[in-house]
Amino acid sequence: MLCNQIEQIHRNLNDTFPALCRIAVVLYDKETDMLKTFTNSTRDATPIQYYSSKLSNSESLSKMVATREIRIIDDITAISSDRRHTKLIKAAGYRSSLTFPIFSKDSLIGILFMNAKEVSYFTPQRVEQLKIFIHLISTLLIAETMPLKTLKGAVATAREFSRIKDEETGAHLSRMSHYARVIALEIAEKHDLNDEMIEYIFQFSPLHDVGKVGVPDKIILKNGKLSNDERSVVQTHVHIGKGIIDTMVDQFDLDGLDNVQMLRNIVLYHHECIDGSGYPEGLKGEAIPIEARITSTADVFDALTSKRPYKEAWSNRKALEFMAENKGRMFDPDCVDALFASKPILKAIQLRFKEDKLG
């Protein structure tokens, strides 16, 4: 995992740079302009986790990205800003910083931060010594994210060629993946989820129904109630989906992709129910992987609150009431509680990813 690699680099660097107390990498989401904490190695301070902010809200970072140059801040205490990130950095005791944008070709994929508790620590001489490690970390991040991009592209291609025309529009997948991230962030500490795991849940959750490519259109597109036989055919999509993921991982040589088992769990188990009444294995409670419980909750919430050919959209209130009635039966109680705790964010996601004629 990238976090282990960053930890090892940090340990090695501390032999020469003992005052270097933090190395952190954040990811950039072009779709929302958000920078999101991803992984870090922190000494003598509480790690900054579960944080996101718009790149455009920071003039300094935006300028750095535009110029693709290293940014050095000699005295963080001299910065007058009420932004939460600045407050967290100051509270941790960091006094100077080095920041570098990480690009893959022309696409910004993340930003590297290094911090020290000494003012003016990142001198030109030290920066020159650190450059090889900066580029090493950049290469590691690119190597981490490119297989994921390949896998998502392959899945999207498979869906396109199969001409799936069910309810899973692009807007639906965007909304439910953001709901999944909201839930994961809310329950992160209780369920021991770190930033990397949260990011992979966000990235993998839209792939949950890839197995529907193997279900006949006459069943997928049926407006009326499914027969028992048709329902049994639909349920095969979880095994079909896992087979597709396994084939793609093998064919694209993606065995090294971190947390790929989380993807398999999401695809295979997102229709399991907490009380054991789901499929394909009738798992109960914590036997269902947390990433699948999160995905199921996010997916159903969006399905309920979205208009479909066979139903009108429910209000958020009605959908949440239904999920509350079924928590501990269909849904993980912590995941449902996370939705209730995030009502304003849910509305913002819906406004950001509205349906259109193209989905």
Catalytic residues: 212
C-alpha radius of gyration, the chain, whole number = 22
If you search the block for the tokens 């994929």, which residue do you land on? Answer: 109
Backbone angles phi, psi at 336, to 5 degrees: -65, -45
